[in-house]
Structure 1
Amino acid sequence: MVLIVDDRPENILPLKKILELHKFSVDTAESGEEALKKVLKTNYSVIILDVQMPGMDGFEVANAITGFSRSKDTSIIFLSAVNTEKKFITKGYTSGGVDYLTKPVDPDILVLKVKTLHRLYEQQQELRAVQDSLRNEVDVRKQAQEELADRIQELRLVLASLPQMAFTVATNGRIEYVNEHWFNYSANPTAFPQTHHDDDDIGNEWPIYLEKGIEFTREVRLKEIASGAYRYHLLRIIPIKQQDVIVRWVGTFTDIHPQKLAAELLEEQVATRTSELLLKNSELETTNHELQQFTWVVSHDLKEPLRKIQLLHDLIKEKYLKENPEAISYLDRSIRSSARLSGLIDDLLSYSQLAMPAVFKPTDLNKLIDEVLVDFDDTISKKKAVITVDKLPIIDTIPGRIRQVFQNLISNALKFSRQDVAPIITISAEIIESKRIDSEPAPSGNFCRFLVCDNGIGFDEKFLDRIFIIFQRLNNRTSYEGTGIGLAIAKKNIDKHNGLISAKSRVDEGTCFILILPVHQMNEPIAN
């Protein structure tokens, strides 16, 4: 803004219009006193000041303005029509003016001078703003350096209190500070301790991490000065950042020698134990194979005399004891005992065969169950049993073993029926979401839930855990035949199929066996 000071309005008006035509903001004052009041409130780039004024003349006003701090960058141009002598011009310059023009004034010259002085004023203001900004930045940096120095001192106090060797590294890789533990391994505070020759590559690795600005961690053996022995340490050097810029690195050497020795000893013991287990496993496999061979031989040798005993009993019964009911009764009991022993031998042989390897393949379970039911035709007819089999899916199984499962479950359903009540057996299936007994049905699931339900004698569910254990029986041997192996065989076969088996039952209300089997199996043979 430009201020025009003149006691005559007719002199102010043309100057004001000329400057406003050149886009200047113009303010006016008609006395020196009014001008001083305005200068105290407003910043002016240029003041055009008349010399000859009543009261305070232009020189007095200029002397007063130059004493104001806020006007130190303001340029004063004197205008005079009377005082044109050299002494007055000199007085104008000594009073703080930058120019002295005599009237009449050439408007173009005046405008050029005002433009030049106004531009100079703006440059001075910009320069002052830059100086203030630099001064503030210097103050901020000074404060930041003081805070950084305080933090560095705190960091060094913390590192000095650590039980590990601790140090700091500058961004150029030079060691800045080490704590007292450092000197147990290095006499030089600017050089890393001596490492084992197998760990000398650390000198090549660390610069790479320093350049990339990432954490460096590795185990290293350092030579202890006092003992000359190498001890295992864990070296860790991490970058310290401020505003995402690395300002230094902090590192530690943690003594892990006891843990390392213990780990090496443990590894040796594990290796020794593993070798022993492999040897024992080999011996166990040999023994298991021999046991299977033994089972086959024994079962054959046991069943052969049993067949002869049963045959001879039948001959004696038919030829010599027809007229002796009491002897026939005893002989029938002996025949039944021989039959139970034969059944026990067969079941034990079946149980031992579960350890043999087998291969999964897609199985039509409806066809498999139809074949199983053929084996029970006589029993089904005799007991007038009703068996319903829903449409079952084709899933991956070991056919011989899954046949044993359904054979045992159907056999039990027929065997443990209620007296004078025809057995009703239903077999159904549904695809489910997950391998859980109570999983929700899901057409795209990976598991299948089978239900084998009957209306037989049932059992108390508190004995559920016992029914799948070999030789465990919940019923009187004299009332219901069996060896107590069937459900144990079923459980082991289901385990081989990576499945689950359970049951729900109530006494005299029947039993429902639940099987969960994967739809698809891995195409690899399995073994015990």
Structure 2
Amino acid sequence: MVLIVDDRPENILPLKKILELHKFSVDIADSGEEALKKILKTNYSVIILDVQMPGMDGFEVANAISGFSKSKDTSIIFLSAVNTEKKFITKGYTSGGIDYLTKPVDPDILVLKVKTLQRLYEQQQELRATQDSLRNEIEVRKRAQEELAGRVEELRLVLASLPQMAFTVDTDGRIEYANEYWFDYSIDPMAFPAVHHDDEDVCREWPTYFGRGIEFTREVRLKKLATGEYRYHLLRIIPIKQQDVTVRWVGTFTDIHPQKMTTELLEEQVSTRTKELLFKNTELETTNHELQQFTWVVSHDLKEPLRKIQLLNDLIKDRYLKENPEAISYLDRSIKSSARLSKLIDDLLAYSQLAKPAVFKPTNLNTLLTEILVDFEDTISKKGAVVSIDSLPIIDTVPGRIRQVFQNLISNALKFSKKDVAPVITISAELIGGKDVNSEPSADGQFCRIIVSDNGIGFDEKFLDRIFVIFQRLNNRTSYEGTGIGLAIAKKNIDKHNGVISAQSRLDEGTRFILVLPVQQVNEPVATY
């Protein structure tokens, strides 16, 4: 901003208009006293000051301005129509003026001078701001260097107290500091210890990590000077950064020789034990195969006498005891016991076969259930049962084993029905997101939840863990036939399918069996004998 100081308005107005036409901001004062007041409040780049004024003249005003620190960059141009002699011009310059013009003033010359002085004022302000910024930055850097020096000293004290080799590396890759443990492995504080010839690749790798400014961690064997023994150490060098710039590196060599020796001994023992286990596993597989063959033979040899017992009991009953009801009753009980024993042998044989490996393949569950229901046609017809099956997806299963699961669940639903109430069995399915009976439905889920529900006698859920255990029964044998193996077979089959089986039930309110199976299975290599 430019300040025009003159006691005569007719002198101020033309100058003000001329400067405003050249886009200068202009302020005016009609006396030296008023000018001083304004200068105390406002920064001016140029002051155009008339020499002849009542009260304070221009020279006095200029001398007063020179004492104001805030106006030290302000340029003063004196204007005079009377005092044109050399002594007055000289006094104007000695009073702090930059120029001395006599009236009448050439407007173009005045505008050029004001422009030049305005530009000089702006440059001085910029320079002053730059100087202040540099002073601040120097002060900040000085404090940062002092703080850094303190931290370096603190870091060295910490490294000196560590019970391991510790060192620092500068940004040029030179070792700055090493603690006392360093000299157990190196006589030179500026050189790394000697490494085992098999670990020399560490020396080649480190420059790459150094150049990229990232942590370097390796196991390395160092030669101890006192014994000549190579000991395992864990080398770790990390960058210390300030504002994402690496200022130095801190490294440690941690002696891991005892742990390494222990690990190698353990690995050797594990290897030996693994070989022993593989041998034992082979023996177990052979024994298991022989046991399966034995099971088949025993089951055949047990069932053959049972069939003869049942056949002979039936013949005795029909031919010789028609007139003896009491004997018939005893024989009927004997025949039923033989039948239960035969069923028990079949179930045990089925349970033992679950250990054999099998191959998964895509299975249409609707087709499989349709085939199963054919086997139950007589029972369904006698009990007037209603079986409803929703559309089920095609999933990977072992068909024979999943057939056993559904056969047991449908058989139980028919068997444990209420008296004088027709069984209602519903089978439904949906895709879900996880392997959990309560997982949320998902259109692209990787698991299938199948629910088999009935309206039978149900059971108390406090016995839920027992129903899948072999030979565990919740009902007496006289009321409901069975061997107590069916749900154990179902549980084991579902486990073999990498799935989950659970149940929800209340007494006299029916039961819901919930199966969760993967939609797709991974076939593992099948063992052969």
TM-score by length of 1: 0.79
The aligned amino acid for 2:193 is P
SS in 1 for 2:177: strand
How far does the alpha carbon of each residue in 1:339-373 deviate from its partner, in whole angstroms, 9 at most, with x for none? 33333322222222223344442231442233221
The aligned amino acid for 1:491 is K
How far does the alpha carbon of each residue in 1:49-70 deviate from its partner, in whole angstroms, 9 at most, with x for none? 6778888877777666656555
CA contact (8 A) 2:390 2:429 kept: no
SS in 2 for 1:186: coil
Residue 292 of structure 1, CA deviation: 0.9
The aligned amino acid for 1:504 is S
CA contact (8 A) 1:427 1:450 kept: no
1:369 aligns to 2:367 (yes or no): no
The aligned amino acid for 2:426 is S
CA RMSD of aligned residues (A): 4.2
The aligned amino acid for 2:196 is H
The answer for the alignment partner of 1:393 in structure 2 is: 391
Residue 93 of structure 1, CA deviation: 5.5
Q: Does the C-alpha gap of structure 1 residues 171 and 312 become closer, same or farther in structure 2, counting only changes over 3 Å?
A: same
Q: How does 1:170-181 map to 2 (within 5 A)?
A: 170-181=170-181
Between stretches 484-493 and 435-444, larger displacement belongs to 435-444
SS in 2 for 1:280: helix
CA distance in 2 between partners of 1:18 and 1:273 (Å): 105
Q: Does the C-alpha gap of structure 1 residues 189 and 207 become closer, same or farther in structure 2, counting only changes over 3 Å?
A: same
1:502 aligns to 2:500 (yes or no): no
Q: How does 1:136-175 map to 2 (within 5 A)?
A: 136-175=136-175
CA contact (8 A) 1:431 1:441 kept: no
Q: Does the C-alpha gap of structure 1 residues 317 and 80 become closer, same or farther in structure 2, counting only changes over 3 Å?
A: closer
CA contact (8 A) 1:19 1:26 kept: no
CA distance in 2 between partners of 1:380 and 1:22 (Å): 110
Residue 89 of structure 1, CA deviation: 6.1
1:453 aligns to 2:454 (yes or no): yes
1:424 to 403, 414, 422: 422
Identity %, equivalent residues: 73
The answer for the alignment partner of 1:355 in structure 2 is: 355
CA distance in 1 between partners of 2:327 and 2:40 (Å): 145
SS in 2 for 1:232: strand
The answer for the alignment partner of 1:524 in structure 2 is: 523
CA distance in 2 between partners of 1:12 and 1:327 (Å): 148
CA contact (8 A) 2:169 2:250 kept: yes
CA contact (8 A) 1:343 1:483 kept: yes
Gaps of 5+ in 2: none
SS in 2 for 1:306: helix
Between stretches 258-267 and 312-321, larger displacement belongs to 312-321
Between stretches 484-493 and 402-411, larger displacement belongs to 402-411
CA contact (8 A) 1:365 1:393 kept: no
Residue 315 of structure 1, CA deviation: 4.5
Q: Does the C-alpha gap of structure 1 residues 88 and 186 become closer, same or farther in structure 2, counting only changes over 3 Å?
A: same
1:128 aligns to 2:128 (yes or no): yes
CA distance in 1 between partners of 2:84 and 2:524 (Å): 123
Residue 428 of structure 1, CA deviation: 0.8
CA distance in 2 between partners of 1:479 and 1:28 (Å): 122
Q: Does the C-alpha gap of structure 1 residues 414 and 7 become closer, same or farther in structure 2, counting only changes over 3 Å?
A: closer
Q: Does the C-alpha gap of structure 1 residues 126 and 437 become closer, same or farther in structure 2, counting only changes over 3 Å?
A: closer
CA distance in 1 between partners of 2:297 and 2:383 (Å): 38
How far does the alpha carbon of each residue in 1:425-465 deviate from its partner, in whole angstroms, 9 at most, with x for none? 22212224545556677787642433252545x55544443
The aligned amino acid for 1:391 is I
Q: Does the C-alpha gap of structure 1 residues 371 and 182 become closer, same or farther in structure 2, counting only changes over 3 Å?
A: same
The aligned amino acid for 1:370 is L
CA distance in 2 between partners of 1:454 and 1:510 (Å): 6
Residue 523 of structure 1, CA deviation: 6.6
CA distance in 1 between partners of 2:51 and 2:250 (Å): 73
How far does the alpha carbon of each residue in 1:16-50 deviate from its partner, in whole angstroms, 9 at most, with x for none? 7766666664655666x777777666666556667
CA distance in 2 between partners of 1:54 and 1:410 (Å): 123
How far does the alpha carbon of each residue in 1:315-350 deviate from its partner, in whole angstroms, 9 at most, with x for none? 555556666666666555544444333333222222
Residue 404 of structure 1, CA deviation: 3.2
The answer for the alignment partner of 2:249 in structure 1 is: 249
CA distance in 1 between partners of 2:268 and 2:345 (Å): 47
Residue 202 of structure 1, CA deviation: 2.0
Residue 226 of structure 1, CA deviation: 3.3
The answer for the alignment partner of 1:468 in structure 2 is: 468
The aligned amino acid for 2:505 is K
The aligned amino acid for 2:371 is L
CA distance in 1 between partners of 2:183 and 2:342 (Å): 84
Residue 487 of structure 1, CA deviation: 3.1
The aligned amino acid for 1:372 is D
SS in 1 for 2:385: strand
CA distance in 2 between partners of 1:441 and 1:124 (Å): 75
CA distance in 2 between partners of 1:322 and 1:16 (Å): 146
Q: Does the C-alpha gap of structure 1 residues 404 and 103 become closer, same or farther in structure 2, counting only changes over 3 Å?
A: closer
CA distance in 2 between partners of 1:263 and 1:241 (Å): 35
Q: Does the C-alpha gap of structure 1 residues 320 and 176 become closer, same or farther in structure 2, counting only changes over 3 Å?
A: same
CA contact (8 A) 1:496 1:526 kept: no
CA contact (8 A) 2:9 2:30 kept: no
Residue 74 of structure 1, CA deviation: 5.0
1:236 aligns to 2:236 (yes or no): yes
The answer for the alignment partner of 1:272 in structure 2 is: 272
Q: Does the C-alpha gap of structure 1 residues 202 and 415 become closer, same or farther in structure 2, counting only changes over 3 Å?
A: closer
The aligned amino acid for 1:173 is G
SS in 2 for 1:390: strand
Tell me which structure has the larger Cα radius of gyration: 1
The answer for the alignment partner of 1:345 in structure 2 is: 345
Residue 265 of structure 1, CA deviation: 3.0
CA distance in 1 between partners of 2:469 and 2:46 (Å): 111
SS in 2 for 1:221: strand
1:211 aligns to 2:214 (yes or no): no
CA distance in 2 between partners of 1:318 and 1:167 (Å): 102
SS in 2 for 1:234: strand
CA distance in 2 between partners of 1:11 and 1:322 (Å): 154
Q: Does the C-alpha gap of structure 1 residues 26 and 518 become closer, same or farther in structure 2, counting only changes over 3 Å?
A: closer
Q: How does 1:41-120 map to 2 (within 5 A)?
A: 69-70=69-70, 72-73=72-73, 115-120=115-120
Between stretches 115-124 and 229-238, larger displacement belongs to 115-124
CA contact (8 A) 1:467 1:473 kept: yes
